[in-house]
Amino acid sequence: MTGLVDRGRAALSKTLVAVRGAVVRRDARAILVGVSLLYLGLYLYVLGHLRFTGGGGFDSLVVSDPLARMFESRGPLAFEPVAALVVGPLELLVAPVNVAIGAALALLVGVNLAVSFLAWRHPAACGIGSGARGSGLLAGLPALLSGTACCGPVVLIALGIQASGVIVASFGFLVPAAALLLLGSLVYVGRQVDPTVAEPRTG
Amino acid sequence: MSWVPGRRAFLAASGVGLAGLAGLAGCLGDADGTGGSSETDTATEAADSGSTQSATGRGSAEAASDGGDYSTDTSVLPTRDQPLPVEWSFARLRDETLSGGPPKDGIPSVDEPSFWSVSEADEFLAPGDIVFGVAGESDVKAYPQRVLVWHEITNDAIDGENVSVTYCPLTGTAMGFFRGETEFGVSGRLVNSNLVMYDRETDSRWPQVLATAISGPFEGQSLTEFPLAWTTWGEWKAAHPDTVVLSEETGHVRNYNRDPYGEYNPPRGYYTNKNTLFAPLSADDRYQEKAVVVGARPREGAVAFRKESLREQGLLTGEVGGTTFHAVYDPALDTAHVYRGDGTDLSYADGQVSVGGETVAPDALPLGRVVDFDAMWFAWAGFYPETVVVA
């Protein structure tokens, strides 16, 4: 039992080092930021809150009492948009709680891929790099899952899947499940990164 | 021209019945809640039923027994003297009611609608976009499908009467109800893929197509209705250049240029494919699931006229419970009107109807009109498996 706790603590510690490496190393940081922004954009697009209008200019609209209404539930982990922003060719409906959920998931996906990159470039020991690559790809699965979660039954309609009460109820669990999977895969791949990766390099 | 009425004028024209309270009590006295309301009420139908039933029977009794501060006073929410036909037991309908995903009011109704002029609406709507039109004596209004797909219910007023204009995207049904002093909201639940509304007075649950409460203090009672024309913006504004149009200033921000289910202009996605979100109450493969029928459910039972056949033939006639019903196609709005026959011979040519030798417009037959609405076939057949079908 003590051994299990120690191993878990060590894995967590290695993961934190790997995450720090993903932040301090320029190439990994580029992946982290790029993937996170891409995922957040995709999340908001699939949610129907971000679209390309092709127009231009700047416009904004805020509903009355936005602070209270931003917490109104519109579905499983979907919340009320309280503002609309038009910036050039992009239109964004701002549902602050959904932006926060999307940003958290996006950050997890970005960190997963950045750490996977480090595990590939800087493996902890020879011979496990390929495993790290696989686990990096693993991060895509929960990302897909959480993307499905945001739109609930609409996704079923698009796919032509007939729903049941159980399926519809399960949509409420997809985002938390995706977040847990992302944390799990992060620890899995994080412990395979060279522990010196975040240290300053000389020469 | 499509019409719609002051409520009393409409109810008179549509031949909505004035049932005896004895017959009504028989329905409401179905204490185990398993009886649908397709009971044979022998009360003689009167020509006019502008009045509504008094607060009697089960609803009030329940309200009293559970201490709830409910009112089934029909001045709060008008109901029909004789409930509409329902072919399933209320217990079964309640069992088949499922969450559609959003919570109660997760799809927010529009409670303070604002309207555009025709020129303002032209900035937003293409001629082929679907609108649901209602032409009252003084108010002429169109409700864009692109707005209602995000809200499903607008609590509004027409000719001084409080109404709810409702739309269920999954069953392709747009229906109008008189709402008295209360409002309707979206419960977040579906039965037979159809929107289940709730009234904000008693929280009774009203599947839109049935227009009859399946639970709550109003269980067993039916709403008073008025027809909406399912038509296009181009056709509606040509017929009613003085119309106003529900605007996208709904108090909510939504992407009104995006329909999460598909598209009507041109048709694609959920609106044309064979997929249904939930299994229907009963399946009938005579037509493709999303084929459109013009449905009516007078007291004699349910009748569906295939819309494609109506477009081709102009006039369809069917018999329900020994009574003849005519569906007449109105090419100006690509809509139809259903009438109760009285034995007079009808014929149809060039968009006009000959009634006993006199030529009249499709919306002006001198016969009792019955509320009708477009519906996807699977939804109609699911709710009304015993329906008469005329094609």
- Please tell me which residue, B2 or B258, carries the higher pLDDT value: B258
- In whole angstroms, give the CA distance from residue B128 to residue B267: 10
Average predicted confidence (pLDDT) for chain B: 84
Q: What confidence tens digit (pLDDT) does each residue in B51-65 have? A: 333 322 333 333 333
**B264 has a pLDDT exceeding 90:** yes
Structure confidence at residue A148 (pLDDT): 59
Q: Is the peptide bond before B266 cis (omega within 30 degrees of 0)?
A: yes
Cα angle for residues B291, B294, B300 (degrees, 5° grid):
130
- In whole angstroms, give the CA distance from residue B337 to residue B320: 16
**Average pLDDT of the segment spanning A85-97:** 92
Q: Lowest mean pLDDT: which of A102-111, B23-32, B206-215, B367-376?
A: B23-32
Among chain B residues, the shortest Cα distance to A92 is held by: B255
* pTM for this prediction: 0.82
- In whole angstroms, give the CA distance from residue A88 to residue A144: 29
Cβ distance A82 to B253 less than 8 Å, yes or no, reads yes
Percentage, residues of chain B above pLDDT 70? 81
- Please tell me which residue, B381 or B99, carries the higher pLDDT value: B381
Q: What confidence tens digit (pLDDT) does each residue in B113-158 have? A: 999 999 999 999 999 999 999 999 999 999 999 999 999 999 999 9
Tokens representing B180 are: 């008295």
User: Roughly what angle, to the nearest 10 degrees, separates helices A26-46 and A2-24?
Assistant: 90
Among chain A residues, the shortest Cα distance to B251 is held by: A63
**Average pLDDT of the segment spanning B93-115:** 94
Which chain A residues contact residue B108 at CB under 8 A?
Answer: 72, 80
Which chain B residues contact residue A162 at CB under 8 A?
Answer: 275-279
Q: What is the 3-state secondary structure (H, E, C) of B47-99?
A: CCCCCCCCCCCHHHHHHHHCCCCCCCCCCCCCECCCCCCCCCCHHHHHHCCEE
B101: closest CA of chain A, how far (Å): 6
Which chain A residues contact residue B103 at CB under 8 A?
Answer: 73, 75
**A150 has a pLDDT exceeding 70:** no
Structure confidence at residue B57 (pLDDT): 30
State the pLDDT confidence band at B67, using cuts at 50, 70 and 90: very low
Residue B174, strand partner residues: B167
Work out how many CB contacts closer than 8 A connect A with B: 75
Structure confidence at residue A10 (pLDDT): 82
Cβ distance B277 to A48 less than 8 Å, yes or no, reads no
Cβ distance A153 to B100 less than 8 Å, yes or no, reads yes
The CA distances from residue B144 to B113, B148, B184, B230, B272, in Å, are 12, 6, 19, 10, 19
